[in-house]
Every structure is written in structure tokens, then in C-alpha cells.
Amino acid sequence: MTSWLERIEGILTACAESMARATETAPDVERAASILIEALQNGGRVLLCGNGGSASDAQHIAAELVGRLGRERPGIPAEALTVNPSTLTALSNDYGYELVFARQVEAVGRPGDVLVGLSTSGGSANVVAAIQAARAVGIRTIAMTGAAGGAVADASDVAVRAPSDSTQRIQELHIAIGHTLCEVVEDALHPEGSL
């Protein structure tokens, strides 16, 4: 039987190997960053959605933008559509869980905003519905998925596919990619020394 130490070393090695492949996403991350920067420079904001761990990642990315990541600077408008239990439960009850994010996009999204949809599988029907709702009203869309991409990637303007099929590794990569996007946006909107 493998010892706990060996098991832990194996998990951390898999994580490191997966992270070493993160640079494969750089061209798509650059395209996503360009969409975010353009929208924010023109008065738009960032909406994010996902389920489970991806909901947490959406909230994490929104918090880094609204707060700060690398340095003190003005807040950047971002909102995770996963955080209001009353809204989530009302929409799920009245419209079904598939429309829980789409209905929010219809209510608060405006042309010029950007929607970031996170789905490790790429198959989350409610994220696909949100992307479709966003595109219908002139909101650019970015997908963050696993290697397969799926319907979420297919529906989006830009898809950043984490190069893994493992949910854990994809989520780890999504945070690294999210931090990268936040840093680039922060640098573009508020260059160091601009305050």
C-alpha cells in the first residue's frame, strides 16, 4: 500500500506537471484579456458564472478585480452571478436551474459588458444558456473550460481550455489563468505609478 506521503507527493507532482502546461493557454488568455480590457476601458463590467468549484472560482476572480490583486488601485467592476441565494433559489424554482444565470444576464447585463463562463466539463447547460443570453444582447463572452471545451467553449467568443481532463487540475489551472487575466487587466487599466 502506498504511504500517505507518497500519495501526497503524487498529487502535488500531478499538480505541478499540469501547471507546467499552463503556458499552452497563453494565446487564448491574451485574446480574453484583450476583450476584458476593451470592455472595461469603454465602461463595461465583468460578469462571471459557474457551478460548484467553478462558482467559487468565479467569485474569486470577481473579488480580485473589485478589490486588488498585485497593488493598490481603483476597483474594477466585476460581479459573480453565483452569490445571491435568494436570486439563485427563486430563479431555479421559477425558471429551472438551466436558466439561473441566463435570467440574471438578461436583468443586469448590458451591451459592452463581458461574461466569463467557467465549466470544467464544458457541458454546463446553465453556463451555455448564460452565454447565449449574453451574446443575444451584445455582451462578449469568454469560456474557461477543460481540454475538451464542450458546448461552453463552442458558444463563446473566446475559449481558454485548461490542458487537462482532471477536474482538480482544471480548477487549479483556472485560478492561475484567472490571476493572470486579473494581473494583465490591472496593468492595462492602472499602470504602476498611475495613482
Sorted by where each starts, the structural domains of the chain and their CATH numbers stand as 25-189 (3.40.50.10490)
Burial of 78 (0-12, 13-18, 19+ CB in 10 A): buried
Round to whole Å and give the CA distance between 176 and 61. 10
Say what the pTM is: 0.95
CB 129 within 8 A of CB 149: no
- Residue 165, all three cell numbers: 481532463
Round to whole Å and give the CA distance between 155 and 159. 9
| Mean pLDDT on 126-132 | 98
Check pLDDT > 60 for residue 87. yes
CA 129 to chain centre: 15
Residues 140, 104, 167, 15: is their CA dihedral positive or negative?
positive
| pLDDT for res 9 | 95
Check pLDDT > 90 for residue 130. yes
Query: To which H or E segment does residue 85 belong?
Result: helix 85-95
The residue behind cell 476583450 is 35
Closest alpha carbon to 66 in 195, 191, 194, 186: 186
The residue behind cell 487540475 is 169
CB 44 within 8 A of CB 113: yes
Check pLDDT > 90 for residue 117. yes
**DSSP E strand stretches across the chain:** 46-49, 78-80, 114-119, 140-145, 158-161
| pLDDT for res 151 | 98
